[in-house]
Homo-oligomer: A and B are copies of this chain.
Amino acid sequence: MAHEPGAPLRVALLGCGVVGSAVARMLVEQADDLAARAGARLEIVGIAVRRPQRPRPDVPVDPALFTADAEELVTRADVVIEVIGGIDPARALILRAMEHGASVVSANKALLAEDGPTLYDTAARYGVDLYYEAAVAGAIPILRPIQESLAGDHVRKVMGIVNGTTNFVLDAMDVSGAGFAETVAQAQALGYAEADPTADIEGFDAAAKAAILASLAFHTRVSAADVHREGITEVTAADIRAARENDCVVKLLAICERVTADGTDAVSVRVHPAMVPRSHPLASVREAFNAVFVESAAAGELMFYGRGAGGDPTASAVLGDVVAVARHRVAGGRGPGESAYADLPVVDMGQAVTRYHISLDVADRPGVLAQVAAAFADHGVSIETVRQQAVAGEGERAKLIVVTHRASDAALSATVSALGSLDAVDDVASVMRVEGA
């Protein structure tokens, strides 16, 4: 649709929660700046909410703009901002908006990770933009840098702390030495964890973001279903202590990695807790902050750091996208669409390769180390260091701490099974991956 010079662009907002109300407020308060940057005034033509009559004193717009009829609203906008979240009705509304010629800005990681290709295809068919910087790592510009700034480079690995709740919990456990359940309760009391924290602590949120990051970094369609996912519910105070003794911190990482599997290029996409050396830039990401670490062939190591959630930070990312798509409406053209030309296979977790930190409770007698070492060797897992600690007050028991060289997850799993069946091994107390070394 050609834009008439001087005419305002019609903006429809779907959702008016924490993010939506911040977006509406900034659209109003910064109207002059946004107009100068976008090349046209951005006029809110409607805000779709479930209860339009509810007073919203923090949203400085004409109350008549609130409507329950989102389906109608999206047909009369140039730019539709979707901050409802979830799969339905967000998907249908976005598709309908694009079919009616609107460009779409969304913060909806779940939808993008579940059904991105349908959205991309529709955007391409109708010649409109689909932008979603806010879907990953909140305020941190990360999708645009990966998609555009690194378009001339070869991304090898993306490792992100992309969920603020889990980082808050793990950081608090590191600082206090407290256990998982206790710390989650504390995070809930402070507003850093939701009443039902499942999506965060089980890694679903991070997995959706990993799928989006991997898709952009590797020019390959990756959906949430392709992502191996482990949350932080099994992380114990003992794990955190073990990490500390290893000069590491425990972080929940979203990892997207280019790998070679069976001689061909492929990608590994996974979310799991991992030990990260304290000297690594990701280790210093505290509290609920997010950060994404990128390794690429030419640029080397990059890190992007900031707030991953919250109304204003997320609104900043949304409005950056709104200005971009508005510019395109004014000037003609669209931004980069989906790029999935590389079409790399996603490997199973068994083929993912990393290092491991394993704590074993063992009998303190000659020959035990040899048996343990043999179990690793039998499965082709090479040991980097072994440390033995006597257990205070238990003369006959010891702890063996093994850090391996890089090995496949399948080989490591088989090793752990074998260790568990050794007479001399009382318990495989902890197994954790080591990243960023």
Contacts and interface: CB of A to CB of B under 8 A. Distances in A.
A141 interface: yes
Interface in A109-159: 133, 139-141, 144-145, 148-154
A316 B328 contact: no
Given A139-B300, A219-B36, A333 B331 contact: yes
B149 A133 contact: yes
A140 B141 CA distance: 12
Contacts of A302: 139-141, 304-306
Given A139-B299, A298-B139, A317-B299, A152 B334 contact: no
The size class of the interface chain A forms with chain B is 35 or more
B300 A306 contact: yes
A56 interface: no
B307 A300 contact: yes
A152 B303 CA distance: 22
A36 B22 CA distance: 38
A307 B295 CA distance: 11
A37 interface: yes
A307 B299 contact: yes
Interface string A35-79: 011100000000000000000000000000000000000000000
Contacts of A313: 298-300
A112 to B, nearest CB: 17
A297 B25 CA distance: 13
Contacts of A141: 141, 144-145, 148-150, 302
A299 B306 contact: yes
Contact of A304 (B219, B298, B304, B316): B304
A304 B246 CA distance: 28
A33 B218 CA distance: 11
A319 B153 CA distance: 7
A219 B34 CA distance: 12
A145 to B, nearest CB: 4
A1 B36 CA distance: 27
A344 to B, nearest CB: 12
Interface in A135-187: 139-141, 144-145, 148-154
Copies of this chain present in the complex amount to 2
A234 interface: no
A315 interface: yes
Given A296-B316, A305-B302, A339-B37, A323 B139 contact: no
A102 interface: no
Interface in A275-330: 281, 284, 296-307, 310, 312-313, 315-324, 327-328
A114 B280 CA distance: 38
A26 interface: yes
Nearest to A151: B323
A133 to B, nearest CB: 6
Contacts of A139: 298-300, 302
A341 B140 CA distance: 25
Contacts of A307: 299-301
A332 interface: yes
Contacts of A296: 316
Those 4 A-B pairs whose CB atoms lie nearest each other, nearest first: A152-B319, A333-B333, A141-B149, A139-B299
Interface of A: 22, 26, 30, 33-34, 36-38, 133, 139-141, 144-145, 148-154, 219, 281, 284, 296-307, 310, 312-313, 315-324, 327-328, 331-334, 336, 339, 341-342
29 contacts: A22-B298, A26-B298, A34-B152, A36-B219, A36-B342, A37-B219, A139-B298, A141-B144, A141-B149, A144-B145, A144-B148, A144-B149, A148-B323, A151-B319, A152-B316, A152-B318, A152-B320, A153-B316, A281-B305, A298-B313, A298-B319, A299-B307, A300-B312, A301-B306, A303-B303, A303-B306, A304-B304, A331-B334, A332-B333
Given A133-B149, A299-B313, 15 more contacts: A140-B302, A141-B148, A144-B148, A144-B149, A150-B316, A151-B323, A151-B324, A152-B316, A152-B321, A301-B306, A302-B304, A302-B305, A302-B306, A303-B306, A304-B305
